[in-house]
Chain A
Amino acid sequence: MTWSLYIRLAWRNVLRNKRRTLIAGTAVAFGLAALMFVDAINLSMTKNMVDSATGSFLGEGEISRTGFRKSFEVEFTVNDLPSVLAELKNDQRVTHFTPRVMTFGMLASPANNCAIQLVGVDPSTEKYLSEMDDKLVKGKYFAGNDQHDIVIGSKLADLLEVGLGDRVVVTAAQAHTGDLAQEMFRVSGIYFFDADELDKGMALIRIDQAQKMLNLDSQVSMIALDFHDRDIGRRPGDPFWAQYSKDGNEAIGWAELVPQLEKVFRLSKISQILVTVILFGVVALGIVNTLFMSLYERMFEFGVMRAVGTRPFSMGRLVVFEALSMAVISSVLGCVLGAALLGLTNFTGIDYSGIEYGGITFTKALYPIWSVHQFTLYPLLFLVFAAVIALYPAIYAARLTPAQAMRKSF
């Protein structure tokens, strides 16, 4: 019976000084909204980084000959390619896959030359995995059947001082013999990612031309993969990787292909925790300050309540309920403010494109990601935190003797 009495009393006390409650509640609400926003930005940053790392070119996983990733030897090709391709074709977890031939080489123009990563791609399947075709700023992405088309990055084109239709020469070592092969290509497309490793260090040719030039027959260096569930690429223990890591091949996900991503995520997590601790600290001080102000202001009233028989525990309970009532108001305000902030930035976006973080260059603007936990877990945590923080003024109130309280009020 007394629980409902004290809950009612707490609410009325909190609403007694509406202006103060509103000001204190808004200050606390800003903290909560900031926390929600930071969380949403972190989620967006994580997604954006994974998108940038995997969506631009890499893919969410790859299958290659064991050792290829370390040595990049051109003759280290995927073993038993036809059966791997057949298995992938029937695998429901895989949305797209594309074979690639990869090696290091030299690209030369009459004006300059540059070391590059030469990639032989199958344009019909590559377009589902990488964004090369979407990022084309000049020319076409392997239109027609010209075997001597080459697509390069804009910075590489600048370096070589070439444009569309200009001739360039690719030099690369052939498989098995190590003999140098040279082939002339004509620039058919120029892309721009705003990421140096792609814009300056990569050139794409057709896969059959690459196989011919590198003496690979129909072999490929690797198969890039995309999944329905992107998180497969984050879980090294997922059965998928064991299934395809056989016959001298290894299958690995993006988390292992770009190990710095996990480190960046850990760093983000830590910074999120730090922000949470700081914001909750500010909130704690705000709540304690407001409660003590209210307590000192009503000291005689507390004295009267104790005098007429309110037990010490009940006095403490009343203070905790007042903190909770204020926390409820602040949480509602915080959720509204947070939603407004997220809604606004979701509309405008935050342009991070071109900024490099943890070795990954953002290729898109950040759009904060809404999540249920931002509007449930954080307010709930906040309520629990408010109740814990309120214990200090609550204990103070409980320990007051009636005579002390009445004397303090004068």
Chain B
Amino acid sequence: MTDQDAVVKTEAVIKTYSDNGVPVPAVRGIDLTVAPGEFTALVGPSGSGKTTFLNIISGLDDATSGKVWLDGNDLAEMNGRELSDFRRDKVGFIFQAYNLIPVLTVEENIEYIMLLQGIDKKERHERVSAMLAKVDLEGYADRLPPKLSGGQQQRVAIARAMVAQPALVLADEPTANLDSKTGGDLLDLMRELNQTTGMTFIFSTHDRLIMERATRLITLKDGRIANDELRG
């Protein structure tokens, strides 16, 4: 794989927060390349910099120094609006909880990104229906998120993350609020979608289930990569 092919590439990424004027390093220089189609898990104890690093590679947060390329694009060269559009088109997000806009129905939540992209109604409807079928939520299109279980809400979040066919799906502790059965089912779904669509997934997690299913396991410690393990 060349650097041009990498979905994510970082060079010496450092992130330091300021706590009442006291610098608090969160990421201390990470070099990483993620290839298309990977199903990667970032693991490590709390405070190891997983979420911060995930935020930086997705353009949700700025690095204090270092370089980040996402799908070949240098994030530092984009302004706020360009970054918004870039995330909309290239990155799908799944968070731990409160992923969805509670006043929009399942269908409206999934089509939200396509609305921002200006995709016409017919295509939106077709793609939403297809995604609902994939995440096994047909018949739930008109429900509001608070009327769904936690697992169902995460399925909707997966559908929303993937409906715009992004280059990368980032999932920050996606199973943390779910029981192990639901979490396992959800993970199987994501792995299946990863294999059928070829979309790249990067997880930040403590969940053993995700670690077991990941094709690559990157362990962070004190803001640095402590171990990078490729698995079958």
Measured CB to CB, the residues of A under 8 A from B are 1-2, 5, 9, 12-13, 16, 300-301, 304-314, 401-403, 406
Q: Are B104 and A300 in contact (CB-based, < 8 A)?
A: no
Q: Which residues of B contact A309 (CB under 8 A)?
A: 84-85, 87-89, 113, 116
A276 to B115, CA, bound (A): 41
Q: Are A301 and B101 in contact (CB-based, < 8 A)?
A: yes
Q: Are B84 and A311 in contact (CB-based, < 8 A)?
A: yes
Q: Are B95 and A308 in contact (CB-based, < 8 A)?
A: no
Q: Are A306 and B103 in contact (CB-based, < 8 A)?
A: no
Select from chain B the residue with minimum beta-carbon distance to A6.
B115
A314 to B80, CA, bound (A): 12
Interface residue count on the B side (C-beta < 8 Å) = 27
Q: Are A307 and B104 in contact (CB-based, < 8 A)?
A: no
A9 to B89, CA, bound (A): 22
A305 to B104, CA, bound (A): 12
| Other A-B pairs beyond A304-B99, A307-B58, 17, CB < 8 Å | A9-B103, A9-B104, A16-B103, A306-B84, A307-B93, A307-B95, A310-B116, A311-B80, A312-B80, A313-B81, A314-B116, A401-B62, A402-B60, A403-B55, A403-B60, A406-B60, A406-B95
Q: Does B185 contact A (CB under 8 A)?
A: no
Q: Which residues of B contact A2 (CB under 8 A)?
A: 115-116
Main SS at interface, chain A: helix
Q: Per a CB cutoff under 8 Å, which of A16, A308, A312, A403 touches B113? A: A308
Q: Per a CB cutoff under 8 Å, which of B62, B103, B115 touches A1? A: B115
Q: Are B98 and A304 in contact (CB-based, < 8 A)?
A: yes
Q: Are B115 and A311 in contact (CB-based, < 8 A)?
A: no
Q: Are A5 and B115 in contact (CB-based, < 8 A)?
A: yes
Q: Which residues of A contact B100 (CB under 8 A)?
A: 304
Q: Jot down 14 A-B pairs with beta carbons below 8 A, ordered by A.
A: A2-B116, A9-B104, A12-B103, A13-B103, A16-B103, A301-B102, A304-B99, A306-B60, A307-B58, A307-B93, A308-B160, A310-B84, A312-B84, A402-B55
Q: Does B140 contact A (CB under 8 A)?
A: no
Q: Are A308 and B112 in contact (CB-based, < 8 A)?
A: yes
Q: Does B136 contact A (CB under 8 A)?
A: no
Q: Which residues of A contact B102 (CB under 8 A)?
A: 16, 301
Q: Are A401 and B115 in contact (CB-based, < 8 A)?
A: no
Q: Are A1 and B118 in contact (CB-based, < 8 A)?
A: yes
Q: Does B61 contact A (CB under 8 A)?
A: yes
1/0 per residue, CB under 8 A from A, across B52-86: the answer is 00010010111000000000000000001100110
A5 to B103, CA, bound (A): 12
Select from chain B the residue with minimum beta-carbon distance to A10.
B103
Q: Which residues of B contact A305 (CB under 8 A)?
A: 101
Number of cross-chain contacts by CB at 8 Å: 71
Q: Which residues of B contact A314 (CB under 8 A)?
A: 116
Q: Are B101 and A304 in contact (CB-based, < 8 A)?
A: yes
A302 to B93, CA, bound (A): 14
A248 to B206, CA, bound (A): 104
Identify which of B84, B87, B118, B160 gathers the most chain A CB atoms within 10 Å of its CB. Answer: B84
Select from chain B the residue with minimum beta-carbon distance to A405.
B60
A147 to B93, CA, bound (A): 102
Q: Are A9 and B60 in contact (CB-based, < 8 A)?
A: no
Expressed in whole angstroms, the minimum distance between the Cβ of B58 and any Cβ of chain A is 8
Select from chain A the residue with minimum beta-carbon distance to B121.
A1
Instruction: Contacts A9-B104, A401-B60, A403-B55 given; indicate if A308 touches B93 (C-beta within 8 A).
Output: yes
Q: Which residues of B contact A306 (CB under 8 A)?
A: 60, 84
Expressed in whole angstroms, the minimum distance between the Cβ of A390 and any Cβ of chain B is 18
Expressed in whole angstroms, the minimum distance between the Cβ of B142 and any Cβ of chain A is 14
A276 to B80, CA, bound (A): 39
A301 to B98, CA, bound (A): 7
Q: Which residues of B contact A401 (CB under 8 A)?
A: 60-62, 80
Q: Which residues of B contact A16 (CB under 8 A)?
A: 102-103
Q: Which residues of B contact A9 (CB under 8 A)?
A: 101, 103-104
Q: Which residues of A contact B112 (CB under 8 A)?
A: 5, 308
Q: Which residues of A contact B93 (CB under 8 A)?
A: 304, 307-308
A311 to B62, CA, bound (A): 17
Interface residues in B40-57 by Cβ distance below 8 A to A read 55
A312 to B80, CA, bound (A): 7
Select from chain A the residue with minimum beta-carbon distance to B98.
A300
Interface residues in B136-177 by Cβ distance below 8 A to A read 160
Q: Are B101 and A307 in contact (CB-based, < 8 A)?
A: no
Expressed in whole angstroms, the minimum distance between the Cβ of A284 and any Cβ of chain B is 26
A300 to B99, CA, bound (A): 9
A306 to B113, CA, bound (A): 11
A305 to B60, CA, bound (A): 11
